[in-house]
Structure 1
């Protein structure tokens, strides 16, 4: 199974930015936890982060060409308004899980709407970095046809 993890805008600042909301683990720590989980599960994983909407669109399109089986994406602020990312995800037709570190539904009202969740397999929100691991567990479960 080949999985692409995409981190959106400002997630490279994890561990520095608003630890009361996003926790104390830094970006590299979280990526290492994700990589270790993937290794244990025998999953080929690539992790990508960008603060630029168009670069994320390009990466999603590359996933199609690279025969990626699944995408795990935390679009961050792009969640709420990026029709371009939503359309790229729809265009490649690669099943994806949307992940959010914080519980977006306990935050500002504008964060309650996701333009990508309606076309996702599902959304995981509010479980810190563990949401990425939950997404991997679900994809493994799905891949095994259970």
Structure 2
């Protein structure tokens, strides 16, 4: 089936962007991936207005991406939140490749297993082959309407 591009009524990209596509939400997630857990740390690191931070944290908790852990409130990633790591790292890598200044990327990720600077790519879970726009064909899935 071809021509599915703009015909989804409830596509997964749109639903994901409704939840995490806003700038502050992605930056909060980035901070959690790098170890930030407390409200004050988010506010300091991001220079985010506190009402905005409160609203975004509540949205991410309500959606099951973060969990608020008491008695000293901390925000920790859930399994769903950890699953967003690849998307955020891929977005970071795109920014490094296309938007970084002449001095290079501001943050590098060292892969703990091999000790090298990590580079990411999207791969097929079945064969391990790289996935790119010319190597996939969209087709209707079970949730297609």
TM-score (norm. length: structure 1): 0.27
The answer to which structure has the higher strand fraction is 1
Please tell me whether Structure 1 or Structure 2 has the larger radius of gyration of its CA atoms.
2
- TM-score, normalised via structure 2 length: 0.27
